[in-house]
Every structure is written in C-alpha cells, then in structure tokens.
Structure 1
Amino acid sequence: MRQWIGRQVIVHYEEDGMIQIRGTVERMNYADKCLILGPKMQSIPFEQISVIEPLNADHKGRSRRRLNSVGYVMSDMLQFDNAVYFQSAVTVWQGEQLVAYNLRIRSHDRNFAVMADGRKLSKDTCTFVVRSLRG
C-alpha cells in the first residue's frame, strides 16, 4: 500500500454505511492499522477500506467534480445539501455571465436551487461553484 503515499485518491470505506472520501494519502500507520488521509488528517482503519482509487483525469466522476480557481463545481445532491446546511458561499455562472456572487443557497430540489435573495436558478443551465477551504 505504500504506492498510494502522496497520491490523491478516492477511498471507499464502511462506517455505518458506505462512505466515499477524497484526499491525499499522507501515510500508512501500520502500528494502528490505519490510513491517514489529508488534508484533514482523517484516520481510516484498514479493515473498513473496501476500495482505493486514484483521482486523475480518467476518473469517471472527475469531470463532474472539477476544481475551479475558487472552489469546486457542484453537481451532486449531497454537495447542494452540504452547501445549504453549512451556509457555504456559492458563486453561480450561466455560461460566461456571473449570475450570483457569494450568495447562500436557501433550499434546492432535483432541478432548481433557491438562493438567499429569493431567485430560483436552474441546475441544468447554471454552474454552481462552492468555495473551498484550502490548507
């Protein structure tokens, strides 16, 4: 498993259901039998890990969750749920035009997101970029 150290990966593991997490493998702690995944230095026991996948341009989900200069392009329902729950600052683009800057999402459903100012924006025509904390 040493070949994963320093690489960006997706780790699938079981802890009260299947969880998928992305990060950089910082080290393998063989004494405690766990993998340390950065940037949050999360410890994942070896026995719970089901799959480790490299995170590269060929990965299926990579094109949907691409890195933007200010954060991540949101595409999954969970990302929208988290943005609502954590009151994350979101920037919204429609093509080349900036539609909303540094706004919160009040609520969302499968097709639309309701912004804090009351506007209802389509998820199909707009690109939602959530700010990310980089350490």
Structure 2
Amino acid sequence: MRQWIGRQVIVHYEDEGIIQVSGTVERMNYADKSLILGPGMQSIPFNKINVIQPLHTDSKKRSRTKLHSVGYVMSDMLQFDNAVYFQSAVTVWQGERLIAYNSSIRSHDRDFAVMADGRKLSKNDYLFVVRSLRGY
C-alpha cells in the first residue's frame, strides 16, 4: 500500500452503494486500518475498498486493464498485490475452462500466483480475472 502514498488516485469503495472518489493518498493509518485521501483528508477503511486506480492526468496514458466478460484481466504486479491485500474475489481460466471461481490469491511473484487452496498457478498459462464493480 505504501506505493500509493503521494499519488493521485481514484478509489472505488462500498458504503451503502459503490462510491468513487479521487484525490491524493496522503498516508495510511494502520492503527485505524484506513487510507487517508486528500485534499479533504477523507478516511476510507481498508476493508471497504474495492479498487485503487492511478489517476492519469495525461490523456495518452491508459489503463492496461483489459475487459473480460466476468471482470478485469489482471496483468500488472500491482493488480496482483491489491488482490492479495484486499482478498479480492478472483476467477481463474485456462482457455475456456474455468479453473477456480470466487477464489482468492494468497501470494504471488513475477511468474506464479498461489491460490487460497494452495495451488501454484503460472501467470503465463492461466488468465486471472478480478470481479468487476456493479454499475461500471
């Protein structure tokens, strides 16, 4: 989570519906388990955060996230980091075959992801899809 400090981001979180806010990550409050988002110093609990995305001010910069019929294909290390940290629901595909549904990733490195059930899956051989947000 420290990689977000000082960066402008868009945060999608749930609080009686999905809310999208943008701002600069000022700090992480580990005592309260929350992210502090400026300029209004808004506190967002870690357990309510669905997605954190960088806010690109340059129109040429685009997210490398690809749309999938179930959600978004994970391709960046940061996406895997967020999936591990937030215990996001992940679906794993091998071609058109469903390998894991609504599972989570325990850990990962550059080439492999370790699922909650202990299976070690290659990032090159499998497609990891994180669920999409409702209404987006």
- For the criterion TM > 0.5, the same-fold answer is yes
Please give the residue correspondences for 1:23-34 in structure 2 after superposition, counting only pairs within 5 Å. Answer: none
SS in 2 for 1:88: coil
Q: SS at 1:40's partner residue?
A: strand
- TM-score (normalised: structure 2): 0.59
Where does residue 47 of structure 2 map in the other structure?
none
Q: Which runs of 5 or more structure 1 residues have no equivalent in the other structure?
A: 1-14, 24-38
State how many pairs are aligned.
98
The one-character-per-residue Cα deviations of 1:13-50 (angstroms, maximum 9, x if unpaired) are xx854x36469xxxxxxxxxxxxxxx6132469xxx88
For structure 2, list consecutive stretches of 5 or more residues without a partner in the other structure: 12-18, 25-37, 39-54
Q: Is the 8 A contact 2:92 2:129 kept in 1?
A: yes
| TM-score, length basis structure 1 | 0.59
Q: Structure 1 126/41 Cα, relative in aligned 2: closer, same or farther at 3 Å?
A: same
- The equivalent position to 1:51 in structure 2, one of 38, 51, 57, is 57
Match of 1:101 in 2: 101
- Identity among equivalent pairs (%): 65
Displacement of 1:132 in angstroms is: 2.1
Partner of 2:129: 129
Q: After TM superposition, which residue ranges in structure 1, 4 or more long, deviate above 4 angstroms?
A: 20-23
Larger Rg: 1
Equivalences for residues 1-135 of structure 1 within 5 A:
16-17=5-6, 19=7, 21=9, 40-43=20-23, 51-53=57-59, 62=64, 65-135=65-135
